[in-house]
Structure 1
Amino acid sequence: MNIIIHPTYFSSIAHFVVMLQADNVVFEVHDNFLKQTYRNRTYIYGANGRQTLNIPVVHSQKNRQKYKDVKIFNEEPWQANHWKSLLSAYRTSPFFEFYEDDIQPLFHQKTDYILDFNLKCFEVICDCLQLDLNVSESQSFEKIVEDKTDYRYLVNAKKEQSQPFDSYTQVFSNKHGFISNLSILDLLFNEGPNTLNYLESQTINPL
């Protein structure tokens, strides 16, 4: 199966489930940037339940801006804030220390463009999981794709939250129960080397 999907900020579990099922993954890089999607946000499990991490971006005066042209608003200390949130949420998780040194540099090195940063996050996760996916980038935007299964709808956080996945142990599950389909970081820090087995055991059907 060949799929097309958006590269997102520490992608959700659903994104990785479909990418592992695919023979070839094409990243959509020629679409327009839309607000309130996983392009610049991810969800983690904090002490008060589901928590949003949102990367501030520089909004153009134009009506439409290409995803690949959107700059991160680095005047805000978002990296320090996100790293503090991750420490607060996951430092007591079983595998946080195991992956900390791989992930921490992303929150100390500045990146200008949101797409570039998301691709870096993806590469780091693949390194952590020793995952070798066959990935390429789109050459132009096609509203309807003929030769690939279209999972671009997963970039929409509202559509995606309904994905029912098997439960696993989470740091604060005794407080708020199991929260499905968070950032891949939640699964990685809680399940460690078992992350790939978990992802391969889940299924998503295309719309």
Structure 2
Amino acid sequence: MDCLIHPTYFPNLEHFAAIVNADSIYFEVCDNYQKQSFRNRTEIYGANGKLSLTVPVNYSQKNRQLYKDVKIANKDQWQLQHFKSLQSAYSMSPFFEHYIDDLRPLFEKQFEYILDLNLECFELLLDCLQVELTTYKTSIFEKEPKDKKDFRVLVKRNHQANALDYYTQVFTKKHGFIPNLSILDLLFNEGPNSELYLKRQPL
């Protein structure tokens, strides 16, 4: 199965399940940027429940821009804030120390474009998961793609995710199980079992 999908910031579990179950990945890079999506946002499990981490971007709804042309608003030390949020949320998780040094460079390197950040984020995650995939970038935008399974809808924040299997999270006893969070939530809690978990999930 060839999978057509948007590169997002630390993809959620349904998003990544589609990725690891694909034969090859086509990243949509020819679409118009849309606000209120997971292109520049991820959700983690903090001490008070679900917490959104948003990458600030320079974008105006009045002037349509291609996703690949949208620049990050590198101000207010957003990378440091995101890194500290991860430390606060997951320092007590079983595999935090195992992966955090591999992920740290993503929060220290300055990126100009949100697409470049998301693609490098994806490569780092593949290394952490020890998954090998063939990836491509689209060259044209197709509203109804041929010969590819279209998972671009997963980029929308209001998309209703499939039921996902339970796993133990850091604050489960406090707030219960929260499904379909960032792949980081699964990685820090399940470690090497993450790929097997993702392959079991319904698409």
Tell whether the structures are fold-level matches, with TM greater than 0.5: yes
User: How many Å apart are 1:112 and its aligned residue?
Assistant: 0.5
Q: TM-score, normalized by length of structure 1?
A: 0.95
Distance 2:100 2:150 in 1: 33
Matches within 5 A, 1:103-122: 103-122=103-122
Map of 2:202 onto structure 1: 203
Distance 2:190 2:184 in 1: 10
Q: For the Cα contact (< 8 Å) 1:165–1:202, is it kept in 2?
A: yes
User: How many Å apart are 1:203 and its aligned residue?
Assistant: 1.1
Matches within 5 A, 1:155-194: 155-160=155-160, 162-194=161-193
- The 3 A distance-change label for structure 1 pair 147 and 76 is same
Matches within 5 A, 1:28-67: 28-60=28-60, 62-67=62-67
- DSSP 3-state at the match of 2:122: helix
Q: For the Cα contact (< 8 Å) 2:162–2:202, is it kept in 1?
A: no
What per-residue deviation string (whole Å, max 9, x for no partner) do you get for residues 140-199 of structure 1? 111111211110000001114x32100000000001100000000000000000001101
What per-residue deviation string (whole Å, max 9, x for no partner) do you get for residues 88-115 of structure 1? 0000000000001101111111010000
- DSSP 3-state at the match of 1:158: coil
Unaligned runs of 5+ in 2: none
Q: For the Cα contact (< 8 Å) 1:163–1:180, is it kept in 2?
A: no
What is the percent sequence identity of the aligned residues? 57
Q: How many residues align?
A: 203
- DSSP 3-state at the match of 1:45: strand
How well do the aligned residues superpose, as a CA RMSD in angstroms? 1.0
Distance 1:132 1:76 in 2: 35
User: How many Å apart are 1:21 and its aligned residue?
Assistant: 1.5
Distance 2:55 2:28 in 1: 19
- DSSP 3-state at the match of 1:29: coil
Map of 2:154 onto structure 1: 154
- DSSP 3-state at the match of 1:157: coil
Q: TM-score, normalized by length of structure 2?
A: 0.97
What per-residue deviation string (whole Å, max 9, x for no partner) do you get for residues 4-47 of structure 1? 00000001111111112211110000111101100000000000
After the TM superposition, which segments of 4 or more aligned residues of structure 1 sit over 4 Å from their partners?
none
Unaligned runs of 5+ in 1: none
